[in-house]
Amino acid sequence: MKFRLLLLFAILSGRCLSQKIQVTPYIQPGNAPTLLHEEKVIIWQTDSLPGFFTVEYGTNKRYNQSATVTSTPLNLQNAHPIIYRAILPNLQFNKQYYYRVKMNGNIVARASLSTRPTTSSSRFVVFGDCGAGSATQAGIAYQTYLQKPQFVLITGDNVYQRGRVSEYLKNYFPYFNAAELSPAKGAPLMSSVPMYVVVGNHDVGAADLDAYPDGLAYFYYYDLPLNAPAFKQTVTAKGKPERVAEFKKATEPRFPNMTNYSFDHGNVHIVCIDANVYMQPFEQEFLNWLENDLKSSKARWKIVNYHHPGFNSSIVHYPQQWMRAISPLFERSGVDLVLNGHVHNYQRSYPLKFAPKLSPTGKPVIDSIGKVDGTFTLDMNFDGKKNTAPKGILYIVTGAGGAGLYDTAFSNKPEKWVHAPEANWVPFTAKFISHQHSFSLVETAGNKLNFKQLDVEGKLIDEITISK
Ligand SMILES: [Fe+2]
């Protein structure tokens, strides 16, 4: 009621009151996992003063359709911003749409977006560990924009240090939702390009809402497919019951299910999953959903995105291998490529198959620090150039998106890469670049998938092609 009165007051007052737009409108993929239905969601944020907003859109600049705008006032103790959402429902595939957002009758933002292709191709950028407020993050945002991706996939640790609202305002939106295109400042990427993300450890680092009232901002700022059921093992919001209840009301229906989802885009099916420590040992319902989701997809290419890599040859985070336990599931479900972050550099594995050591009850053994022993089968004949048919899954760490780099002396020095004795020293890593920040560009066309790793100046630093 208080909010409605404020809104009425703001409308009647006209120009006397002026809302401050804290986050300019950007697009999100919405709850559209399959190629049967397409939508986009436009999201923006103001300070605590309600504004009267309208959203108009269409396939040309006559903007002949209007979207319903909803608002969610947040009570973050020291701040009371309002987040607005407008769903553009039932869009046509393979189309360009134009949209504009008006505040109190004045245009405050306009941009265009492309809906998903239903063709046998795709083009997208991947990086992780990015929202650090760094100069390299700006460079990667800039280079990403120049690549004209159809979407951006982030491998987690979207925002440092703890995934809070205040940190998104400082370390994320100014770079990825910048007003201007500049290698030093970032790019107006988010107003036209949807971002799909996963939760890294830093993104759930402020789950105690008493200590961090603006924590778990992942659930405020993204709007992703909601096609996974609620699992028992998931992120938990902690704090006083009334505060947790308020948070859940403001993030309904996204919290906590939006940590696991999948989507189709062109000829690619991508599953994004939560790999945080609370997920293991893995719940059977989660594994059943994951396997069923992957196996039921008819897409030409199947990709899985999660934060914590099972196969990593850095010293940093080396023991955190629990995702290795899922490798057999990926292998029998036809996964081609796994994309990870968490480790702040670039690593590409040989195509590999991994059989984890099993307990007497038949479950993969994950030790107390996360290590998983097992048997590797490597395809060392694959070079991605002359031999492009991999026998196994390629595991790629692309976590050099802006945060401080790890093991910077390891670039192209295989003698330094960690392949520890519990894995019989198997040298599963084929390429390792850690002295510079970088991002990945993936392009699919029919039976070919081309993967490039590019640095902050857009220079090619690694490239492979996979074919079927
Ligand atoms: Fe991480």
Distance CA 179, CA 189 (A): 9
* C-alpha of 54 from chain center: 28
Between the CA of 279 and the centroid of ligand 1 the distance, in Å, is 15
* C-alpha of 209 from chain center: 23
Between the CA of 317 and the centroid of ligand 1 the distance, in Å, is 9
The pTM of this model reads 0.95
Between the CA of 199 and the centroid of ligand 1 the distance, in Å, is 9
Which pLDDT score, from 0 to 100, does residue 16 have? Answer: 44
Decide: 56 and 66 in contact? Cβ < 8 Å. yes
**Cα angle for residues 26, 201, 229 (degrees, 5° grid):** 70
Distance CA 125, CA 296 (A): 25
Between the CA of 252 and the centroid of ligand 1 the distance, in Å, is 26
Residue located via tokens 């907003």: 53
Between the CA of 49 and the centroid of ligand 1 the distance, in Å, is 36
Between the CA of 250 and the centroid of ligand 1 the distance, in Å, is 26
Q: Is 64 exposed, middle or buried (0-12, 13-18, 19+ CB in 10 A)?
A: exposed
Instruction: For residue 256, say if its preceding peptide bond is cis, omega within 30 degrees of 0.
Output: yes
Between the CA of 132 and the centroid of ligand 1 the distance, in Å, is 12
Beta strand 121-127 with 40-46: parallel, antiparallel or unpaired? unpaired
Between the CA of 203 and the centroid of ligand 1 the distance, in Å, is 9
What are the backbone angles phi and psi of residue 206, rounded to the nearest 5°?
-130, 50
Which pLDDT score, from 0 to 100, does residue 466 have? Answer: 98
Between the CA of 19 and the centroid of ligand 1 the distance, in Å, is 36
Between the CA of 179 and the centroid of ligand 1 the distance, in Å, is 28
**Cα angle for residues 331, 333, 334 (degrees, 5° grid):** 70
Between the CA of 276 and the centroid of ligand 1 the distance, in Å, is 9
Decide: 109 and 44 in contact? Cβ < 8 Å. yes
> What is the 3 state secondary structure string of the chain?
CHHHHHHHHHHHHHHHCCCCEEEEEEEECCCCCCCCCCCEEEEEEECCCCCCEEEEEECCCCCCEEECEEEEECCCCCCCCEEEEEEECCCCCCCEEEEEEEECCEEEEEEEEECCCCCCEEEEEEECCCECCCHHHHHHHHHHHHCCCCEEEECCCCECCCCCHHHHHHHCHHHHEEEEEECCCEEECCCCCCEEECCCCHHHCCCECCCCCCCCCHHHHCCCCCCCCCCCCCCCCECCHHHHHHHHHHHCCCCCHHHCEEEEECCEEEEECCCCHHHCCCCHHHHHHHHHHHHHCCCCEEEEECCCCCCCCCCCCCCCCHHHHHHHHHHHCCCCEEEECCCCCEEEECCEEEEECECCCCCECCCCCCCCCEEEEECCCCCCCCCCCCCCEEEEEECCCCCCCCCHHHCCCHHHCCCCHHHCCCCCEEEEECCCCEEEEEEEECCEEEEEEEECCCCEEEEEEEEC
Sheet hosting strand 460-467, strand order edge to edge:
195-197, 151-154, 121-127, 438-445, 448-455, 460-467
Blockwise average pLDDT, block size 10, the chain, 468 residues:
46 56 98 98 96 97 98 95 98 98 96 97 98 98 98 98 98 97 98 98 98 98 97 97 98 98 98 97 96 98 98 95 98 98 98 97 94 95 98 98 97 90 79 98 98 98 98
What are the backbone angles phi and psi of residue 217, rounded to the nearest 5°?
-65, -15
Between the CA of 293 and the centroid of ligand 1 the distance, in Å, is 25
Between the CA of 223 and the centroid of ligand 1 the distance, in Å, is 21
Between the CA of 200 and the centroid of ligand 1 the distance, in Å, is 5
Between the CA of 69 and the centroid of ligand 1 the distance, in Å, is 34
Between the CA of 204 and the centroid of ligand 1 the distance, in Å, is 10
Between the CA of 446 and the centroid of ligand 1 the distance, in Å, is 33
- Partnered with residue 347 across adjacent β-strands are 397, 432
Between the CA of 433 and the centroid of ligand 1 the distance, in Å, is 18
Residue located via tokens 């959402």: 85
Distance CA 252, CA 134 (A): 32
- CA separation, residue 415 to residues 313, 314, 318, 397, 432 (Å): 11, 12, 16, 19, 11
Between the CA of 398 and the centroid of ligand 1 the distance, in Å, is 12
Q: Nearest-CA neighbor of 216 among 175, 137, 170, 159?
A: 159
Tokens found for residue 300: 């030409």
Which pLDDT score, from 0 to 100, does residue 434 have? Answer: 98
Between the CA of 160 and the centroid of ligand 1 the distance, in Å, is 10
Decide: 214 and 170 in contact? Cβ < 8 Å. no
Between the CA of 281 and the centroid of ligand 1 the distance, in Å, is 19
Which pLDDT score, from 0 to 100, does residue 6 have? Answer: 46
Between the CA of 112 and the centroid of ligand 1 the distance, in Å, is 33
